Amino acid sequence: MSASPLLEQLIEALRCLPGVGQKSAQRMAYHLLEREREGGLRLAAALAEAVERVGHCESCRDFSEMPICALCASGSRDRSLLCVIESPADRLVIEQATGYRGLYFVLQGRLSPLDGIGPRELGLDKLADRLATGEARELIIATNPTVEGEATAHYLAQLAHQAKVKPTRLAHGVPLGGELEYVDRGTLAHAFGSRIDLST
């Protein structure tokens, strides 16, 4: 038990971060107080401002300080392509690794009835309305290849079919540069089930 209730409060507050347990939170708190007080003040100010001012884009549900984010407002994006992703971090990865120039819809999660996360929590009513406008011709489903991600992908494909929009799914399988002996059984089974015809 610390002699300082404020130190205990700081350590406990840091534990809200993912992957941060008691020891990591304690190390962070001690570092901030021993060596980085100015950085700690900047962190506190930036965190307070972000929590206060960053909301969600009304169109794509990504993080934004404005009602419509810069990407959705851009006239240079291909509005016929709509990529559905689970989190803002997924958008960042796709933007950095690919030449994708379409728009996004961020679910902020995936279907998980046991956790109380259904279509409403993911904004799928808003997505259905967006598909109904006829602007998007292809719905690219980029959910993670987990049980919940696959269930979410199936639900999204049904939404697309109802709106007469072509649903596509990101390919999954053996990674480029990977060796078969090191690929896990689930990935290899999925790759075999999704093999492509090279005869054309």
Residue in the structure block whose two tokens are 């939170």: 25
Q: What is the mean pLDDT of residues 78-102?
A: 93
Residues of the chain with CATH 1.10.8.420: 5-53
Please state which CATH number belongs to domain 5-53: 1.10.8.420
The predicted structure's pLDDT at residue 105: 97
- The CA distance from 7 to 31, in Å, is 12
Query: pTM of the entire structure?
Result: 0.82
What pLDDT does 98 receive? 87
Q: Within 13 A of 25's CA, how many CA atoms are on the CB side? A: 16
Q: What is the pLDDT of residues 105-149, one digit of tens each?
A: 999 999 998 888 999 999 999 999 999 999 999 999 999 888 899
pLDDT at 5 over 80: yes
pLDDT value of position 180: 72
CA distances for 188 relative to 154, 174, 192, 198, angstroms: 21, 6, 6, 19
pLDDT for 200: 58
DSSP state of 15: T
Quick one: DSSP state of residue 19? T
d(CA 156, CA 160): 6
Higher pLDDT, 83 or 182: 83
CATH number, domain 63-169, options 1.10.10.10, 2.60.120.330, 3.40.1360.10, 3.30.750.24: 3.40.1360.10
Q: Is the pLDDT of residue 174 over 60?
A: yes
pLDDT at 176: 76
DSSP symbols for 50-76: HHHH-EE-TTT--EESSSS-HHHH-TT
In the chain, residues under CATH classification 3.40.1360.10 are 63-169
Which segment of 47-56, 76-85, 146-155 scores lowest on mean pLDDT? 146-155
